[in-house]
């Protein structure tokens, strides 16, 4: 497998349709620009859907890739190593932020176990049946995956994207359920952006103290030494310092772009996978939205590199796709406004332009004559 092949498979959203959407926007009764970024979102959706007016986003889905990372053994996470399955269980039990929000917004959640380090019996078969391997390697001293496992994980993500597109999903909110995932993600971003470890090291979704931050920074620094020799091959990079969940998310993002299925990115993990995918296919980011600012410095580095501006900045650091899911109503609102606001008729257009009716003009002329 060569991820560079995706470059020939991915097209940008339809530029002609976007121009038609922009022209329609100019004809609406609400002045152009009055809705701010919602105008841009509506036009982007039109281009992605190849439809003017834009269709409603009524079949969204949250997709979460789950995995454990061996680097968590170093104490770089606020959670104990090998406990990502607890995050999964909380979502399944409806006791996590993303579960609460998904109920509120009536959005189904799909969880894909790409590399959890737990007995399969602890979770439903629908979750664990996709697992590539049990946990990922400690990236500071060893590869996260073998080359074969990396390809298997990427193909898993591609398969999930195809299943979602085939089922009618019209927009995906993408997130992760991982322990140690932000360390791997920060390593990928630092490697691809040519940045030092200290610049990208954050506190993670669970929060860590200063000692853990220093351990995390050292782990990323050591992992970077292993990442730099394989920067020319995205698959080798994911195998060296990624993980099964990150490789699967990368495959998912690339195949979603092939299938013209928009994706809203959540935090630093999805941003890292998006950056790897962009390296393989430069047009792919045109199919993604950045849902929120997570507070992780590596996330902002990645989003800047991809020229993606987050929709929200509410300080949500919990992960799990929660911040991106909060942005979904904004996207749906943009679609509704673009589709349902009326266009100006000839009469309303004259009034909007401030031109007086013909009768008023005649009356004014008669008064002037008298």
**CA 300 to chain CA centroid, nearest Å:** 13
3-state secondary structure of 189: helix
Copy the structure tokens of residue 288.
């993604």
3-state secondary structure of 61: strand
How many CB atoms lie under 10 A from the CB of residue 198? 14
Question: Quick check: is 320 catalytic?
Answer: yes
Copy the structure tokens of residue 343.
């266009």
Classify residue 204 as left (phi > 0), alpha (psi -120 to 50) or beta. Answer: left
Closest-CA residue to 265 (of 80, 62, 37): 62
Cis peptide leading into residue 53 (ω within 30°) = yes
Burial of 131 (0-12, 13-18, 19+ CB in 10 A): buried
Residue 63 · residue 164 · CB < 8 Å: yes
Residue 192 · residue 200 · CB < 8 Å: no
**Residue of 149, 164, 296, 320 with catalytic role:** 320
Active site members: 320
């Amino acid at each position: 497998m060569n991820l560079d092949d995706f470059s020939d498979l991915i097209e940008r959203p339809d530029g002609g349709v976007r121009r038609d959407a922009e022209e329609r926007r100019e004809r609406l009764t609400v002045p152009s620009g009055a809705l701010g970024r919602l105008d841009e979102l509506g036009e982007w959706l039109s281009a992605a859907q190849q439809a003017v007016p834009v269709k409603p986003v009524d079949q969204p889905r949250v997709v979460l890739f789950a995995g454990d990372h061996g680097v968590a053994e170093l104490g770089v996470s606020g959670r104990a190593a090998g406990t990502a399955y607890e995050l999964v269980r909380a979502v399944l039990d409806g006791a996590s932020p993303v579960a609460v929000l998904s109920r509120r917004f009536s959005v189904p959640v799909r969880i894909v176990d790409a590399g959890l380090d737990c007995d399969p019996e602890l979770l439903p078969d629908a979750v664990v049946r996709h697992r590539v391997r049990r946990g990922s390697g400690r990236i500071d001293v060893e590869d996260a995956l073998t080359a074969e496992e990396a390809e298997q994980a990427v193909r898993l993500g591609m398969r999930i994207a195809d299943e979602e597109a085939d089922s009618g999903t019209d927009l995906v909110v993408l997130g992760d359920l991982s322990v140690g995932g932000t360390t791997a993600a920060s390593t990928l971003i630092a490697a691809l952006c040519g940045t030092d470890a200290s610049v990208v090291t954050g506190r993670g979704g669970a929060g860590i103290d200063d000692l853990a931050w220093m351990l995390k920074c050292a782990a990323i620094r050591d992992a970077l030494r292993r990442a730099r020799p394989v920067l020319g091959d995205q698959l080798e990079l994911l195998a060296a310092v990624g993980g099964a969940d990150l490789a699967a998310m990368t495959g998912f993002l690339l195949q979603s772009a092939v299938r013209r299925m928009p994706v809203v990115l959540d935090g630093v993990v999805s941003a890292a996978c998006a950056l790897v995918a962009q390296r393989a296919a430069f047009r792919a980011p045109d199919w993604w939205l950045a849902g929120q600012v997570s507070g992780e410095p590596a996330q902002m580095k990645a989003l800047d590199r991809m020229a993606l501006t987050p929709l929200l900045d509410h300080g949500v650091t919990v992960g799990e796709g929660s911040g991106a899911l909060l942005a979904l109503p904004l996207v749906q609102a943009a679609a509704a406004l673009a589709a349902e606001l009326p266009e100006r008729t000839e009469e309303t257009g004259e009034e909007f332009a401030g031109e007086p009716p013909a009768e008023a003009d005649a009356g004014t002329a008669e008064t002037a004559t008298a």
